[in-house]
Amino acid sequence: MRGSDLERVVEAQDAGNTLRDALGELRAGRKESHWTRFVFPQIAGLGRSPMSRRYAISGLEEARDYLSHPVLGPRLRQCAQVVAGLGATSAEGPIDAEKGSGSFCRHSVSVPSTSMSGFRTYCFLLQPTSRQRTGLTRLCLGQCELYNAALEERRGAWAWEHRSVSLFDQCRTLTETRQVRPDLFECGVTVCRGTLKRLEWAFAAFYRRCRSGETPGYPRFKAASRFDSVQWEDTNGWGLDTENERLRLMGIGHVKLRMHRPLRGTPKAITVSRQGQRWWVSIRCAEVPAQPLPATGQSVGIDLGVCALMATSDGELVREGRFAKKARDRLAGAQRVLATKRRGSMHRSRACEAVGRAHRKVANQRKDLAHQLSRKLVNDHDLIVCEALRVPQMSRRPKPRPNGKGGFDRNGARAKAGLNRSIADAGWGMLRSMLVYKAEDAGRELIAVDPRHTSTRCTSCGHSESENRVSQAVFRCRGCGHRDHADVNAARNILRAGRAQRASARAGLGN
Site for Zn ion in 481-510 (CB under 5 A): 482
- The residue among 108 and 489 lying less far from Zn ion, judged by its C-beta, is 489
The CA-based angle 212-216-217, given to 5 degrees, is: 160
- Smallest gap from residue 461 Cβ to Zn ion (A): 3
Site for Zn ion in 262-281 (CB under 5 A): none
- The residue among 199 and 458 lying less far from Zn ion, judged by its C-beta, is 458
What is the Cα–Cα distance from 165 to 155, expressed in whole angstroms?
Answer: 9
Give Cβ neighbours of residue 298 (< 8 Å, ≥ 6 apart): 380, 381, 382, 383
- The residue among 440 and 484 lying less far from Zn ion, judged by its C-beta, is 484
- Smallest gap from residue 264 Cβ to Zn ion (A): 48
User: Which of these segments, 242-250, 263-271, 384-392, 460-468, binds Zn ion (CB under 5 A)?
Assistant: 460-468
User: Which of these segments, 102-110, 173-181, 189-197, 462-470, binds Zn ion (CB under 5 A)?
Assistant: 462-470
- The residue among 348 and 463 lying less far from Zn ion, judged by its C-beta, is 463
User: Radius of gyration over alpha carbons of the chain, in Å?
Assistant: 26
Cα 141 versus chain centre, distance: 27
- Smallest gap from residue 302 Cβ to Zn ion (A): 22
- The residue among 239 and 479 lying less far from Zn ion, judged by its C-beta, is 479
Mind giving me the DSSP string for 177-238?
HHHH-GGGGTT-HHHHHHHHHHHHHHHHHHHHHHHTT--PPPPPP--TTT--EEEE-SSSSE
- The residue among 80 and 490 lying less far from Zn ion, judged by its C-beta, is 490
What is the Cα–Cα distance from 500 to 462, expressed in whole angstroms?
Answer: 15
- Smallest gap from residue 460 Cβ to Zn ion (A): 5
- The residue among 34 and 476 lying less far from Zn ion, judged by its C-beta, is 476
- The residue among 382 and 484 lying less far from Zn ion, judged by its C-beta, is 484
- Smallest gap from residue 421 Cβ to Zn ion (A): 34
Using rule CB under 5 A, residue 470 touches Zn ion: no
Instruction: Among 479, 500, 504, 505, indicate the residue that binds Zn ion (CB under 5 A).
Output: 479
Give the closest residue to 165 by CA, choosing from 236, 209, 233, 219: 219
- Smallest gap from residue 483 Cβ to Zn ion (A): 10
- Residues 62, 85 contacting (CB under 8 angstroms): no
- Smallest gap from residue 110 Cβ to Zn ion (A): 32
The residues pairing with 274 across neighbouring beta strands, listed in sequence order, are 279
Max Cα–Cα distance, the chain, nearest Å: 81
- Smallest gap from residue 497 Cβ to Zn ion (A): 17
- The residue among 243 and 467 lying less far from Zn ion, judged by its C-beta, is 467
- Smallest gap from residue 459 Cβ to Zn ion (A): 8
- Smallest gap from residue 466 Cβ to Zn ion (A): 14
Instruction: Among 205, 461, 500, 505, indicate the residue that binds Zn ion (CB under 5 A).
Output: 461
If you ran DSSP here, which 8-state letter would residue 37 be given?
A: I
What is the Cα–Cα distance from 253 to 247, expressed in whole angstroms?
Answer: 8
The residues pairing with 463 across neighbouring beta strands, listed in sequence order, are none
Using rule CB under 5 A, residue 480 touches Zn ion: yes
Site for Zn ion in 96-155 (CB under 5 A): none
- Phi, then psi, of 235 in degrees rounded to 5: -90, 10
Instruction: Among 39, 377, 477, 495, indicate the residue that binds Zn ion (CB under 5 A).
Output: 477
CA-to-CA dists, residue 50 to 45, 81, 468, angstroms: 10, 16, 50
- The residue among 132 and 468 lying less far from Zn ion, judged by its C-beta, is 468
- Residues 121, 104 contacting (CB under 8 angstroms): no
Site for Zn ion in 341-400 (CB under 5 A): none
- With 0-12 / 13-18 / 19 or more C-beta atoms within 10 angstroms meaning exposed / middle / buried, residue 97 is buried
- Smallest gap from residue 89 Cβ to Zn ion (A): 46
User: Which of these segments, 199-207, 251-259, 304-312, 469-477, binds Zn ion (CB under 5 A)?
Assistant: 469-477
Site for Zn ion in 196-255 (CB under 5 A): none
Total residues interacting with Zn ion, rule: CB under 5 A: 8
User: Position 385: which residue type?
Assistant: V
- The residue among 415 and 480 lying less far from Zn ion, judged by its C-beta, is 480
- Smallest gap from residue 504 Cβ to Zn ion (A): 24
Using rule CB under 5 A, residue 463 touches Zn ion: yes
- Phi, then psi, of 286 in degrees rounded to 5: -115, 170
Backbone region of residue 237 per phi and psi (left: phi > 0; alpha: psi in -120 to 50; beta: other values): left
Site for Zn ion in 430-459 (CB under 5 A): 458
- Residues 443, 495 contacting (CB under 8 angstroms): no
Give the closest residue to 288 by CA, choosing from 435, 438, 94: 438
- The residue among 176 and 467 lying less far from Zn ion, judged by its C-beta, is 467
Name the residues that contact Zn ion, by CB under 5 A: 458, 460-461, 463, 477, 479-480, 482
